[in-house]
Amino acid sequence: MSTPDPFDPFGVITSMNGWCCLLGAARELGDIDAEMMDTLLEANEPGPASLSSEAVAKVRNLVRLMRSLDLDPDAIRLREPGAMRTLEAACLGCTERNHCTRELRAGTAAGTYRGFCPNAERLDGLREA
């Protein structure tokens, strides 16, 4: 059994440090979510009421495709937020969602995305980086 810290006999400081770390992580996740929502709203003007399930599905497909290409969308969003906004905007304008969904479900998207994805060159650039 360890001896208590003489300056923190009840472990309050240790507990507070843990809470601060958790709050910091929650704040970062909130910022990521807020940035993604801003991107979706900008690409789908005039406002939140017009955000469709189709738009959400397209962005989900982008995330799934990126993961199938061994790209980490969260890391890219943090490292290169402008690049992620560009990828999302291109997805929102894409007319190949059904094709993309089929390829993702079949597990073949990583080998075929260049034939239908408007983000193919951007994704290839991120893979090479």
Asked whether the beta carbons of 96 and 117 are under 8 A apart, the reply is yes
Cis peptide before 46 (omega within 30 of 0): yes
Domain boundaries, the chain: 12-128
- Tokens in use for 5? 């810290």
What one-character DSSP code corresponds to residue 11?
A: S
Per-residue model confidence as pLDDT tens digits over 78-105: 999 999 999 999 998 999 999 999 999 9
Q: Which of helix, strand or coil describes residue 8? A: strand
Looking at residue 57, its pLDDT comes to 84
Would you say residue 27 has pLDDT above 60? yes
Would you say residue 44 has pLDDT above 70? no
Separation in Å, CA 32 to CA 19, 52, 62, 78, 105: 20, 20, 16, 8, 26
